């Protein structure tokens, strides 16, 4: 995983001036301090010699500034060297946060120096100074892999293959397609920093790592589509989907209306719904009985209008009773050819 970072974030992680850890790195051990102190003493004698031999009065201020600078070289030299080393990384314009895993870890012995001595028998003996180092190889799913070799420390024993690893990568291309430099490697599971020189401000890097991990965990949840509350009916015509089945609808043809009037009478309720005038009379207590002949006449007229609309056949005779109407209907039943 590689996430580009802004220039402002990069300058926060790798400042232009040396940090406390970088200053202590270049402070070194006692031999390093004595070497810087010797340079300061020699520099002070050089400034005094220049004042006596070449410069007269009028250059006291310049000589004072030069003498203080050279005399305090042992103090400010670590700041200078750390700033120059940071400048080598800050010259790259593009940076990214990289997260992968530990691919391999092994220990080797590296040659750090040689000494030539003579034994009591007069033979020349070369003594090699070797140091045990840990080799940490990290990579990700894209095929990117890098190896870092640093002096072995006791807390490095907790590192195992498969542990997540994070670091800063630098490039001169905006798409980070070519990685030029890598920073310290951070193992978040064990809170271990693997590095020879502390390039990063570690507290700031841990904070950036925490924010990016939180954003990565929340983004997949935000991209998930909300569940549908209503079930969609799949459309037919797809091989991978079964067509939706609907209940068969009865098809109506003109033959359905060519039934006898007796069937209509048998299926109709025995009592006719009263009109508004008759219902009004019922409310007032004046009940008007229904005539059976009027009821049959109304039914015949309704059936006549239906047959006339659907079949185009018109009945001209109106029977006076149900028997004559059934006889008339059976004789004049239309024949429809479809």
The residue with greater pLDDT, 59 or 111, is 111
The residue with greater pLDDT, 184 or 51, is 184
DSSP3 helix / strand / coil % (the chain, rounded to 5): 45, 20, 35
pLDDT of residue 134: 94
126-130, 145-149, 215-219, 327-331 — which is least confidently predicted? 327-331
The residue with greater pLDDT, 258 or 159, is 159
pLDDT of residue 80: 94
Q: Which of 72, 73, 77 shows the shortest CA–CA distance to 23?
A: 77
Cβ-Cβ contacts under 8 Å for 26 (sequence gap 6 or more): 18, 77, 78, 81, 82
Q: Which of 224, 166, 230 shows the shortest CA–CA distance to 194?
A: 166
The predicted model scores a pTM of: 0.60
Q: How far apart are CA 317 and CA 183, in angstroms?
A: 109
The residue with greater pLDDT, 110 or 337, is 110
Q: Is the pLDDT of residue 146 over 60?
A: yes
Q: Which of 187, 197, 171 shows the shortest CA–CA distance to 95?
A: 171
Cβ atoms within 10 Å, residue 310: 16
Q: How far is CA 204 from CA 149, 276, 320, in A?
A: 24, 90, 107
Write the DSSP symbol of residue 88: H
222-239 average pLDDT score:
49
Write the DSSP symbol of residue 157: G
Cβ burial, residue 254 (10 Å; 0-12/13-18/19+): middle
* Cα 104 off chain centre by: 28
Query: pLDDT of 18-51, one tens digit each?
Result: 999 999 999 999 999 999 999 999 999 998 888 8
Q: Is the pLDDT of residue 282 over 60?
A: no
**What is the SS3 assignment for 19?**
coil
Q: Give percent of the chain with pLDDT exceeding 70.
A: 67
Average pLDDT of the chain to the nearest whole number: 77
Q: Where are the domains of the chain?
A: 2-218, 255-331
Q: Is the pLDDT of residue 204 over 80?
A: yes
Q: DSSP per residue over 22-46, as a string?
A: HHHHHH-SHHHHHHHHHHHHHHHHH
pLDDT of residue 227: 53
State which H helix or E strand residue 70 sits in: helix 60-71
**What is the SS3 assignment for 47?**
helix
Q: Is the pLDDT of residue 2 over 70?
A: yes
Kindly indicate the confidence band of residue 12, based on its pLDDT and cuts at 50, 70 and 90.
very high
**What is the SS3 assignment for 125?**
strand
pLDDT of residue 33: 94
Q: Is the pLDDT of residue 280 over 90?
A: no
pLDDT of residue 121: 85
Pure H helices in 98-231: 202-223
Cβ-Cβ contacts under 8 Å for 37 (sequence gap 6 or more): 74
Kindly indicate the confidence band of residue 192, based on its pLDDT and cuts at 50, 70 and 90.
very high
Query: pLDDT of 98-144, one tens digit each?
Result: 999 999 999 999 888 888 888 888 888 888 888 999 999 999 998 89
Q: Give percent of the chain with pLDDT exceeding 90.
A: 46
Q: Is the pLDDT of residue 288 over 80?
A: no
């Amino acid at each position: 995983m590689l996430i580009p970072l802004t220039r402002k974030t990069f300058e926060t992680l790798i400042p232009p001036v040396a940090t406390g850890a970088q200053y202590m790195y270049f402070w070194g051990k006692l031999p390093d301090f004595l070497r810087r102190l010797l340079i300061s003493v020699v520099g002070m004698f050089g400034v005094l010699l220049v004042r006596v031999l070449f410069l007269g009065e009028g250059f006291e201020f310049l000589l004072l500034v030069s003498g203080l600078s050279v005399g305090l070289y042992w103090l400010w030299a670590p700041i200078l060297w750390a700033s120059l080393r940071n400048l080598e990384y800050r010259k790259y314009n593009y940076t990214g946060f990289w997260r992968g895993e530990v691919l391999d870890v092994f220990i080797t012995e590296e040659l750090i120096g040689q000494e030539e001595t003579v034994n009591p028998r007069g033979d020349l003996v070369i003594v090699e100074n070797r140091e045990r180092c840990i080799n940490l190889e990290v990579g990700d799913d894209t095929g990117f892999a890098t190896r870092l070799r640093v002096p072995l420390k006791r807390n490095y024993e907790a590192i195992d293959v498969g542990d997540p690893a994070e670091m800063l990568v630098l490039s001169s291309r905006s798409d980070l397609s070519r990685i030029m430099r890598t920073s310290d490697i951070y193992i978040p599971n064990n809170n271990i920093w693997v590095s020879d020189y502390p390039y990063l401000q570690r507290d700031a890097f841990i904070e950036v790592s925490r924010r990016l991990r939180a954003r990565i965990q929340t983004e997949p949840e935000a991209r998930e589509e909300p569940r549908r509350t209503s079930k969609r009916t799949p459309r037919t015509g797809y091989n991978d989907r079964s067509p939706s089945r609907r209940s068969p609808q009865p098809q109506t043809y003109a033959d359905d209306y060519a039934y006898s009037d007796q069937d209509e009478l048998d299926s109709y309720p025995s009592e006719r719904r009263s009109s508004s005038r008759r219902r009004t009379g019922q409310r007032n207590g004046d009940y008007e009985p229904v005539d059976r002949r009027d009821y049959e006449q109304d039914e015949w007229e309704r059936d006549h209008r239906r047959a006339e609309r659907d079949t185009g056949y018109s009945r001209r005779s109106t029977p006076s009773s149900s028997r004559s109407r059934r006889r008339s209907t059976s004789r004049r039943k239309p024949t429809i050819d479809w």
